[in-house]
Amino acid sequence: MSSILIYLESHDGKLKSNAAEVATAGRKLATAQQKELVAVVIGEVATDELGNWGISRAIRLSGGNLADYSGDVWAAELAQLVSDQQADTVLMMASSQGRDLSPRLGALTGVTVIADVISLENQDGTTVGLRPVFANKAQVLVRPTGELAIFTLRPKAFTPEVVEAVATTVESRSAAALDALAIVRELAVAAGAKIDLTEADVIVSGGRGMGGSEKYDILEQLAEKLGGVVGASRAAVDAGWRPHSDQVGQTGKTVAPTLYIACGISGAIQHLAGMSSSRFIVAINKDPEAPIFKVADYGIVGNLFEVVPALNSAI
Amino acid sequence: MKAIVCMKQVPDTESRITINPEKTGVEQGDFSYIIGPYDEYAIEAALQLKEAAGEGEVVLLSVGDPSIKSTLQKGMAMGADRSVLIEVDSYNGDALTTARLLAAQLKTMEYDIIFFGKQAPDDNNAQVGPMVGQLLGLPTVTAIAALEVQEGKAVVEREVEGGREVYEVTLPALLTTEKGLNEPRYPSLKGIMQAKRKPVDLVSGEVAAATTEQLTWSYPPSRAEGKIVGEGTAAVPELVRLLKEEAKVL
Ligand SMILES: Cc1cc2nc3c(=O)[nH]c(=O)nc-3n(C[C@H](O)[C@H](O)[C@H](O)COP(=O)(O)OP(=O)(O)OC[C@H]3O[C@@H](n4cnc5c(N)ncnc54)[C@H](O)[C@@H]3O)c2cc1C
Ligand SMILES: Nc1ncnc2c1ncn2[C@@H]1O[C@H](COP(=O)(O)O)[C@@H](O)[C@H]1O
């Protein structure tokens, strides 16, 4: 029987929150196609959550040269598992790690990754994926033509579902000691270790209308009240007000939070490319003609320096 | 310092995308083309290394049809010394196909470092760089936001969720570039004039069968027409109410 292999990311011995997204997508496919679902974790990772997502079998790979992340070594180990487990489908996140790891696995196994899909569908036992292209201006349904398909899932596009808990058998395997060509020497954790934009449920973004880095206080305050993080347009990043890692858009991050609040952002096509699949969009802009209002569920025309503080006191 | 930059020509990011009536792709007709935005960081990084070393060469490498020449010229106007164009026909842009074509050509070339953009904005694959790295067995780091090269080594950083990974790799190595690495230069008038005389060597490549097939193209569902809640601070209570009762996000 062929199987579906899902690779679950972890950090510091714990599964990342995005693991639930891959797990849910994997379980649904395995059920629809009557295939075995095999979860893979790398390192000494706690696996007690897996049962809640309906995963009954997991493989924990460790030892060898797996302690620190190395794209080439990890991909080689996964390629080995793909063949051992007779996997015909591999799922992982289109996160920084997944986007680094999956193409290497693709090259090793001889397939192009069907990358950054927003949905997966079972067509007579074959999995097809829908992927946004041209900066979300179009989307294309892609089908594998060979024996193996690797998909990466766009963060936040798959809603995690908890099911009736099952027991999980975890098999430990030790890896061969492969020499790494490139290995992480150090992991510098960002100051404040805030949630990454791609993982946030609420994003409060500020653009050129902010007028300076010190003005972001009011956005930080709003983000904190809503349990979210602050993002930015490219104009704000290029002005040096915010770090590059805060940029949302075509050359920044693609985000899909539940709530995106755009403050002093006009809504250029390259900005929309990164945030238009947010669930709810709020725009605060003094120009009623600003294109951001075309995609905003709720717009307020006005001076953000008055509206945002008022919003801060109202919630 | 010999650097090769793999560069893709892509439609201008402002372009309107029109899906063809057969829904098998997009209408190519009305695009104006640019160097992939991430590839510009790659070219800039290569130029800076050559300048710092005081000697060497920056070569652009691309897979496509001869129309790409004018985009390669833009890269040479920035300062790249020459270009190699792998000419192919009936090519659908499949990532592994591209990677194999590039890897085969790179095997015949000399380099200390190979740069790629992190991602092409049209196909949104972010695959070709790491695939080539794997095919050539080179130390490979993707989406780098900082780079320092010294004595046959490169120390690079890549941004990940919540932090930065630091790598040290020995050269030759392959790196893909992220925004923030540098500020790509604008071509000077002199650079534009010189680029016209810089060589573009044509080589031919064998296209292998793709492992994926595009079925149908569509437009993403459009968002419902938004509503203006009101003007100024007076609109705030109503916004809060909508967020609570309609959107249920508060
Ligand atoms: C290849 C390429 C890639 C790009 N990638 C990205 C990307 O990833 N992300 C991105 O964001 N952009 C990107 N851009 C840039 C994009 O085209 C726009 O230039 C940018 O998004 C504009 O940022 P902005 O909306 O903050 O600024 P502006 O367009 O200048 O808009 C500022 C807005 O603030 C409003 N405003 C001013 N003061 C106030 C106030 N006091 N109260 C309320 N409103 C106020 C104004 O009415 C205006 O609408 C890219 C461009 C190119 C060419
Ligand atoms: N046809 C091509 N010719 C040369 N380089 C390419 C080509 N396609 C992609 N690349 C390189 O690979 C990077 C990633 O592209 P992609 O995997 O298509 O997102 C690009 O930024 C380029 O550096």
Structural domains in chain A plus CATH codes: 3-174 (3.40.50.620), 197-314 (3.40.50.1220)
Dist CA A276 CA A123 (whole Å): 28
pLDDT for B126-169, tens place per residue? 999 999 999 999 999 999 999 999 989 999 999 998 889 999 99
Cα A219 to chain centroid distance, Å, stands at 23
**pLDDT for B116 beyond 80:** yes
pLDDT value for A192: 59
pLDDT value for A193: 58
The residue-averaged pLDDT of A40-56 equals 96
Strand order in the sheet with B227-231: A229-232, A202-206, A259-263, A280-285, A298-301, B227-231
Q: A270 alpha carbon to ligand 1 midpoint, in Å?
A: 9
Percent of chain B with pLDDT over 90: 86
More confidently predicted of A54 and B250: A54
Kindly list the residues from chain B whose CB atom is less than 8 angstroms away from the CB atom of residue A11.
162
pLDDT value for B225: 82
pLDDT for B13-35, tens place per residue? 888 999 999 999 999 877 899 99
Q: Is B21 an interface residue toward A (CB < 8 Å)?
A: no
Kindly list the residues from chain B whose CB atom is less than 8 angstroms away from the CB atom of residue A108.
134
Kindly list the residues from chain A whose CB atom is less than 8 angstroms away from the CB atom of residue B166.
184-188
Which among A11, A107, A296 is the nearest to B134, CB-wise? Answer: A107
The residue-averaged pLDDT of B238-247 equals 95
pLDDT for B170-228, tens place per residue? 999 999 999 999 999 999 999 999 999 999 999 999 898 899 999 999 999 988 888 99
Q: Which residue of A has its CA nearest to B138?
A: A181
pLDDT value for B13: 87
Ligand 1 atom nearest to CA at A208: 26
Q: Which ligand is nearest the CA of A251, by number?
A: 1
* Count of A-B CB contacts under 8 Å: 278
Contact criterion met (CB < 8 Å) for B233 and A306: yes
Q: B131 alpha carbon to ligand 2 midpoint, in Å?
A: 10
Dist CA A62 CA A15 (whole Å): 15
pLDDT value for A154: 97
pLDDT value for B41: 98
Beta-carbon-side half-sphere exposure of residue A217 (alpha carbons within 13 Å)? 4
Kindly list the residues from chain B whose CB atom is less than 8 angstroms away from the CB atom of residue A243.
180
pLDDT for A84-103, tens place per residue? 999 999 999 999 999 999 99
pLDDT value for A41: 98
**pLDDT for A1 beyond 90:** no
Q: Mean pLDDT over all residues of chain B?
A: 95
> Residue A219 — φ and ψ, nearest 5°?
-75, -40
Tokens representing residue B220 in the block: 């993403």
Phi and psi based region of residue A77 (left: phi greater than 0; alpha: psi -120 to 50; beta: remaining): alpha
pLDDT value for A189: 78
Helix/strand/coil for A49: coil
Atom 10 of ligand 2, nearest CA residue: B8
pLDDT for A185-212, tens place per residue? 998 877 655 789 999 999 999 999 999 9
Ligand 1 atom nearest to CA at A250: 8
pLDDT value for B90: 76
The CB of B46 under 6 Å from ligand 2? The reply is no
Q: B11 alpha carbon to ligand 2 midpoint, in Å?
A: 13
pLDDT value for B114: 98
Q: Mean pLDDT over all residues of chain A?
A: 95
Percent of chain A with pLDDT over 70: 98
ipTM over the 0.90 cut-off: yes
Q: Evaluate if pTM is beyond 0.90.
A: yes
Which among B15, B38, B217 is the nearest to A140, CB-wise? Answer: B217
The CB of A274 under 6 Å from ligand 1? The reply is yes
Q: Which ligand is nearest the CA of B65, by number?
A: 2
**pLDDT for B230 beyond 90:** yes
Cα A22 to chain centroid distance, Å, stands at 10
Contact criterion met (CB < 8 Å) for B239 and A282: yes
The residue-averaged pLDDT of A107-124 equals 97
Lowest mean pLDDT among A174-178, A267-271, B114-118: A174-178
The CB of B87 under 6 Å from ligand 2? The reply is no
